[in-house]
Amino acid sequence: MNDQLSSLKSVETSIDISSIERKILEYQNQGKSLFATSSFQSHSLPLLHILSRIDNTIPVYFMNTGFLFPKTLMFAEQLASDLGLYIIGLRSATPKVHQMDHEGRFYFTSDPDHCCYLNKIQPLEPILMKHDVWINGIRADQSAHRKTMREEEPAPYNTMRYHPMLSWDARMIHRYVQEYDLPPHPMESDGYLSIGCEPCTSKFLSEGNERNARWFGMNKTECGLHTQLIKK
């Protein structure tokens, strides 16, 4: 394992990969149970690659909301094969027929926060109950909300959130992806830089950061996973 970890240090020294290695190994040496989540966007690739090299048995969960782009699901399968990752999709226990308002509209149209609750937060809660550390790849440069977060944050059910990529920026992500020749999300070349559920994702807009096309035209800028599943 030490040989595998040392190979990660070939990326430029400004990208502090060694701190991620040390922290994950520290958690494991303490006997903590770890899991990760991913949306399988292009900017998710460095963390997935690092996890695959440190310990590819750490489960990687994704919220299979039923509204994801088919290409995202295909990309997740590709990464599971290429990186040898243990990837698990989570689905809501609430049938889609019960995810509509009184006018027959899906909640992603009339109440996107409730849609996130049903399809992302509720499915992840049982996973939090079974583990001690939640590894996820949010970055401070992605939004004003994420800029206020710390590398470690308490989460519900006595779980610790660990944000190893918090100090990375888009240039560091790009550099890492190039260094290891990692495949981009197949929709990135079409102008999709931040990809979530199909109804709530647009192509990248000309101004702002990579997330400005998410929930475009809605009074929503952040996924409930990173607002409700955190303790301040």
- Structural domains in the chain? 16-226 (3.40.50.620)
| CA gap 94, 7 in Å, rounded | 44
Does position 106 have pLDDT exceeding 80, yes or no? yes
- Give the pTM: 0.87
Q: Give Cα separations from 112 to 98, 109, 204 (angstroms).
A: 14, 6, 20
Q: Are strands 159-162 and 152-155 parallel, antiparallel or unpaired?
A: antiparallel
pLDDT score of 25: 96
- Give the pLDDT band (50/70/90) at residue 220: low
Give the model's pLDDT for residue 191. 79
Alpha carbon separation from 74 to 40, 78, 156 (Å, rounded): 10, 6, 31
- Return the percentage of the chain with pLDDT > 90, whole number: 61
Instruction: Provide the β-strand partners of residue 154.
Output: 160
